[in-house]
Structure 1
Amino acid sequence: MSSQLTETIPSNVQTAILEEAVYLNPDVVRIRLRLKSGNGRLIYSAGQYLALHILESQFRCYSMVHDYEPDKPLELHVRLYPGGLFSEWIRQRANSKLLSSNIPVELRLSGPYGQCIWKSPCLPGATTVMLATGTGIAPIWALLEQALPTSSGHVILYWGGQVPQDLYHSGPLRGLEKAFPHFHFVPVMRDPIPGWTGRVGTVEQCAASDHPELRQSRVYACGSPSMVQAAAALLIKNCGLDEDHFHADPFEHPVSSQKAPSEDPTLNLFVRTPQGREEKVHARTGISLMTALSESGHTQGICGGRAACGNCRVKLGNHRALLLVEQTKSERRLLASFEDALPEHRLSCQIALTRELDELRVEISTPSL
């Protein structure tokens, strides 16, 4: 890895000890982390996520499985991918004696990130719909733990998989059904399989079929970005769901920040770092400002450029630029959640570089959600 990327690790990184790594099914491992003594606490809301930093510029994002409790370990569900950098690291430690040795296994983490947190129902008694695929059940479980004891309306969860063993948390969900009569769990298989008598299709299709009228409802979607995108499009268009009532943090693993050969025109950026230095950066047009800042070692988009984490927030120094680049609704909502929000703040992942932004002045902001 290039040493110039060391500065892209967020400033709020803490060290944690890996206490447990246990298989929940052949492809998912539950890990439990405890912050190292002297690191303070990671205070978060149910539904948020953190980033595990593996190497200088490599990280993976995972949602917390439980609502925040002081002095309790952080629990994450990790899907394993063949040949994956972090997947192979976890495979070596899952159910092994490495964790019982006297040598602590340390990981670096940052966060919390995300805005997919519980909101009060639009009306008393209104139905809440939850959608999950794969390990997207992790933040959904945290939200359920927080909401079910006090919510009055019906809460319906659709969790989808390819085979029944993908739904590795079904037992506890059935337990929630018994404890809270207003909660209902609907398991869904993507395609018909022998012996399956439950619902078949995508979770968003099942939800749209069961709830054709969602004008007074909220929807929470956690899982693959393709599911989140499809669910938003379908439920907003066909079921009348208000765009502001669709809650999701569809983060993706970022692509490599290696510069690709390009004949696109270039422009100049003037970047002021948190340390007060001003640096000139040459960037090509047609990419996002976040990509340009990542390639030059100045920032890192935790959510993969989906306006979900706020880690790429910058302050624009040219007032002309504020007029050139229109904000999306999701960007406005996330920026407003910062305690030190300013009109000049923007998410660099939402700014496409054009020739009109030549000589743009940018100040790197440190996260302070």
Structure 2
Amino acid sequence: MTISVTVSDVHRMTPDVKQFRLVADDHTFEYEPGQHTAVHFENDGEDDSRPYTAANLPGGDGNELILAIKRYDDGNGSVFMHERTPGDEIETEEVDGNLHVRDLDRDAVFLATGTGITPLYPMLKQYAVEGSGEAHLVFGERDREHLIFRESLDQLRVEHEDLSVDYVLSDADEAWNGLTGHVQDHLPDALDDLDGTDFYVCGVPEMVVETGDLLESEGVDEGDIYTEGWEADAAEE
């Protein structure tokens, strides 16, 4: 079963990412921060769909989803969405998925690259408000202008002393004085105390797999590492 929603507004976040506010007239979305819906579209005359994470926290009227979607020239779903304008109607699904905060009383480390930040962003917001431990986000991107949610993340860490945020750029300019390279290169710095810490990882499959291997080599229990779960197969392709 699909759910009809209307594109309420569209906002460009970065050169290749747009944010879409979708509103359902007669449906309430119930989900955990970090979970995703699926957007349906026509592809060569057939119904197709792609998963996108709800960037907004559940609550309020519950009839809105906010999706941050990066456009890929060869991505049928992202091209379809980037052509949407306010007033368009599209079909989505209920919100579900494997990524959500498991225990708000345990410390948490969030690791993201690119649009992998989209599920971790609402999870981090939830943890900042409801969590009782410390949270650390390590977010990797190509350069500064492609960092999604940066202003909101900076504000979040100012407001919550138990939350830290590190950005890692793989193609930094000379003015950048932050971390460079890849997210997993800086992971050991986030491993002050492995006991009682959960790890949430989302991004390109290779990063997710390498990060999981590194964490396990450092003594993290596999059951304390949370991903969507499909990345290992994708990394082997």
Q: Could you say which residue in structure 1 is the equivalent of 2:55? A: 65
Q: Could you say which residue in structure 2 is the equivalent of 1:44? A: 31
How far the C-alpha of 1:305 sits from its partner, in A, is 7.6
How far the C-alpha of 1:200 sits from its partner, in A, is 1.4
Q: Could you say which residue in structure 2 is the equivalent of 1:249? A: 228
Q: Distance in 2 between matches of 1:140 and 1:60?
A: 18
> Could you say if the C-alpha distance between residues 173 and 191 of structure 1 is closer, same or farther in structure 2, counting changes exceeding 3 Å?
same
1:116 paired to 2:107: no
Q: Please tell me the residue identity of whatever aligns with 2:73.
A: P
Q: What are the equivalent positions in structure 2 for 1:7-26 lying under 5 Å apart?
A: 12-26=1-15
In the TM superposition, what whole-angstrom CA distance separates every residue of 1:269-310 from its partner, at most 9, and x where no partner exists? xxxxxxxxxxxxxxxxxxxxxxxxxxxxxxxxxxx988xxxx
Q: Please tell me the residue identity of whatever aligns with 2:178.
A: G
Q: Distance in 2 between matches of 1:30 and 1:156?
A: 25
- Contact preservation (8 Å) 1:129, 1:207: no
Q: Distance in 2 between matches of 1:251 and 1:165?
A: 29
Q: Distance in 2 between matches of 1:192 and 1:163?
A: 5
Look up the SS of the partner of 1:112 in the other structure: coil
Q: Distance in 1 between matches of 2:233 and 2:59?
A: 30
Q: Can you give the 5+ residue segments of structure 2 that lack an aligned partner in the other structure?
A: none
In the TM superposition, what whole-angstrom CA distance separates every residue of 1:236-284 from its partner, at most 9, and x where no partner exists? 11x21111111111557xxxxxxxxxxxxxxxxxxxxxxxxxxxxxxxx
- Contact preservation (8 Å) 1:132, 1:159: yes
Q: Could you say which residue in structure 2 is the equivalent of 1:226? A: 206
- Contact preservation (8 Å) 2:127, 2:135: no
Q: Give % identity.
A: 26
Q: What are the equivalent positions in structure 2 for 1:139-178 lying under 5 Å apart?
A: 139-178=119-158
Q: Please tell me the residue identity of whatever aligns with 1:214.
A: L
How far the C-alpha of 1:86 sits from its partner, in A, is 2.9
How far the C-alpha of 1:155 sits from its partner, in A, is 0.5
- Contact preservation (8 Å) 1:14, 1:109: yes
In the TM superposition, what whole-angstrom CA distance separates every residue of 1:76-115 from its partner, at most 9, and x where no partner exists? 100001143233333334xxxx52xxxx411111132212
> Could you say if the C-alpha distance between residues 21 and 63 of structure 1 is closer, same or farther in structure 2, counting changes exceeding 3 Å?
same
TM-score by length of 1: 0.58
Q: Distance in 1 between matches of 2:179 and 2:92?
A: 38
Q: Paired residue for 1:208, among 188, 196, 206?
A: 188
Q: Could you say which residue in structure 1 is the equivalent of 2:69? A: 78
Q: Point out the more displaced range, 130-139 or 191-200.
A: 191-200
TM-score by length of 2: 0.88
Q: Distance in 2 between matches of 1:192 and 1:17?
A: 38
How far the C-alpha of 1:222 sits from its partner, in A, is 1.7
1:88 paired to 2:79: yes
> Could you say if the C-alpha distance between residues 83 and 150 of structure 1 is closer, same or farther in structure 2, counting changes exceeding 3 Å?
closer
Q: Please tell me the residue identity of whatever aligns with 1:242.
A: D
Q: Please tell me the residue identity of whatever aligns with 1:54.
A: F
Is the radius of gyration larger for structure 1 or structure 2?
Answer: 1
How far the C-alpha of 1:186 sits from its partner, in A, is 0.3
- Contact preservation (8 Å) 1:129, 1:220: yes
- Equivalenced residue count is 230
How far the C-alpha of 1:173 sits from its partner, in A, is 0.9
Q: Could you say which residue in structure 2 is the equivalent of 1:27? A: 16
In the TM superposition, what whole-angstrom CA distance separates every residue of 1:148-187 from its partner, at most 9, and x where no partner exists? 1232221000010011112131111111111110000100
Q: Paired residue for 1:106, among 81, 89, 92?
A: 89
Q: Can you give the 5+ residue segments of structure 1 that lack an aligned partner in the other structure?
A: 1-11, 253-303, 307-369
How far the C-alpha of 1:212 sits from its partner, in A, is 6.0
Q: Distance in 2 between matches of 1:229 and 1:21?
A: 33
Q: Distance in 2 between matches of 1:208 and 1:224?
A: 19
Q: Please tell me the residue identity of whatever aligns with 1:116.
A: L
Q: Distance in 1 between matches of 2:8 and 2:130?
A: 32
In the TM superposition, what whole-angstrom CA distance separates every residue of 1:112-169 from its partner, at most 9, and x where no partner exists? 2212111225xx6x53110111122221121122221232221000010011112131
Q: Distance in 2 between matches of 1:127 and 1:22?
A: 33
Look up the SS of the partner of 1:17 in the other structure: strand
How far the C-alpha of 1:224 sits from its partner, in A, is 1.8
- Contact preservation (8 Å) 1:79, 1:87: yes
